[in-house]
């Protein structure tokens, strides 16, 4: 199970589109759209929000992202009607809907709890270039310094959304500080912001207990072309 995510928007299309985008990066995360009024007009729906929360709650918690102030009011009203045990597992993130949903979904996909998902989503609203509390690889080096390697992107579209998500999910599994061209390798938006396309070099650096393994496996992932031609 993972933390579930609910998108509350005044537009059914925005909510559903955001869910579809985030699902591409985090296929195992339960994402639910609660957009528009009951008849899919512009506005919000108490019933849609209530249903989405129930469907997204697997027991590990739910993070809710809202687009405008009245969406927050509808969500808060819906939360007044859930039982105390469930309410304790639900949190609203103060984050941009699209960027926050993508970053939060990847955090949930990699096993993050509610606090980690909220942190990732809210950090996305501050530029997303490095994770909260993250430090650049090499800032606490051992005697020999960080492990480094330069790899060239070979897949047609480089580190676009899906490969970037695959890269971040793999990087998040290592006990190491890892960077790509100086950006935190565990930050999806940071990696995507690099604009690494086919033929560009990715300079990997890591330090920490898993540094050597991390660099080897991440380099192999890039060299494999992420399964793309």
d(CA 110, CA 165): 10
Q: What integer pLDDT is reported at residue 137 of this predicted model?
A: 45
- Domains annotated on the chain, with CATH: 4-124 (3.40.50.510), 147-227 (3.30.1340.10)
d(CA 29, CA 65): 15
Quote the pTM value: 0.73
- Position 154 scores a pLDDT of 94
SS3 per-residue string spanning 39-83 = CCCCCCCHHHHHHHHHHHCCCCCEEEEECCHHHHHHHHHHHCCCC
Using CB atoms within 10 Å of the CB of residue 54, give its burial: 0 to 12 exposed, 13 to 18 middle, 19+ buried: middle
Q: What was the pLDDT predicted at 35?
A: 97
Per the residue annotation, which of 3, 7, 9, 10 is the catalytic one? Answer: 10
What does DSSP assign to residue 146?
A: -
Nearest Cα residue to 4 out of 52, 50, 75, 61: 61
Q: Is 160 a catalytic residue?
A: no
Sign, Cα dihedral of 84, 6, 15, 98: positive
Residues in the chain predicted with pLDDT less than 50, given as ranges, are: 128-143
- pLDDT tens for 170-219 read 998 899 999 999 999 988 888 888 889 999 999 999 999 999 999 999 99
Cβ(105)–Cβ(28) below 8 Å: no
The values of phi and psi at residue 32, to 5°, are -130, 140
For the chain, percent helix, then strand, then coil, each to nearest 5?
40, 15, 40
CA 220 to chain centre: 23
Q: What's the pLDDT score for residue 135?
A: 41
Question: What pLDDT sits at residue 229?
Answer: 63
Alpha-carbon span 19 to 30, nearest angstrom: 9
């Amino acid at each position: 199970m993972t933390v579930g995510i609910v998108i509350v928007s005044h537009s059914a299309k925005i909510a559903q589109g955001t869910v579809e985008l985030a699902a591409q990066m985090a296929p195992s995360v339960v994402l639910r759209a609660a957009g528009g009024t009951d008849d899919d007009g512009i506005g919000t729906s108490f019933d849609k929000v209530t249903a989405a929360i129930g469907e997204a709650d697997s027991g590990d918690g739910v993070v809710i992202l809202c687009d405008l102030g009245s969406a927050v009011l509808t969500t808060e009203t819906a939360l007044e009607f859930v039982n105390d045990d469930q309410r304790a597992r639900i949190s609203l993130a103060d984050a941009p809907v699209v960027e926050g949903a993508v970053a939060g979904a990847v955090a949930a996909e990699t096993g993050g709890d509610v606090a980690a998902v909220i942190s990732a989503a809210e950090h996305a609203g501050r530029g997303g270039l490095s994770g909260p509390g993250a430090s650049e690889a090499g800032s606490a080096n051992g005697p020999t310094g960080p492990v480094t390697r330069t790899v060239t992107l070979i897949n047609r579209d480089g580190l676009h959304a899906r490969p970037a998500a695959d890269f971040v999910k793999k990087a998040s599994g290592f006990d190491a500080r890892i960077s790509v061209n100086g950006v935190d390798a565990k930050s999806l938006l940071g990696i995507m912001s690099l604009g690494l396309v086919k033929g560009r070099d990715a300079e990997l650096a890591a330090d920490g207990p898993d540094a050597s393994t991390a660099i080897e496996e991440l380099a192999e992932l890039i060299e494999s072309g992420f399964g793309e031609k």
